[in-house]
């Protein structure tokens, strides 16, 4: 679930619980709103946790590639065929 969908569920749950005044037999409006808000909050927490884990992994990858770019190639060995003769 994305962050936007989670916030949407929280908003819909709050509207159902606090703003609507309808009554449907067999459905508790306040409980339905609370369930939607809890589902949205859990989804929001999971989405944020996933984003934090992904961004940390991304930083590690970028640091590794930067480190690899700044390293000098090893000097040519004496038997290396690509070594220039002087």
Rg (CA), the chain: 28
Contact 14, 33 (CB under 8 A): yes
Contact 17, 29 (CB under 8 A): yes
pTM (2 decimals)?
0.62
Please say if the pLDDT value at position 16 is more than 60: yes
Please say if the pLDDT value at position 14 is more than 70: yes
pLDDT tens digit sequence for 45-55: 999 998 887 76
pLDDT tens digit sequence for 20-72: 888 888 889 999 999 999 999 999 999 999 888 776 666 666 666 677 676 66
The two tokens of residue 65 are 């590639």
Please say if the pLDDT value at position 84 is more than 70: no
The two tokens of residue 73 are 């190639």
């Amino acid at each position: 679930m994305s962050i936007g969908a989670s916030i949407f569920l929280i908003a819909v749950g709050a509207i159902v619980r606090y703003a609507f005044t309808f009554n449907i037999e067999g459905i508790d409006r306040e409980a339905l709103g609370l369930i939607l808000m809890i589902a949205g909050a859990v989804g929001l927490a999971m989405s944020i946790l996933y984003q934090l884990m992904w961004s940390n992994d991304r930083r590690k990858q970028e640091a590794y590639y930067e480190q690899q770019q700044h390293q000098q190639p090893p000097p040519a060995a004496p038997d290396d065929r690509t070594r220039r003769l002087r």
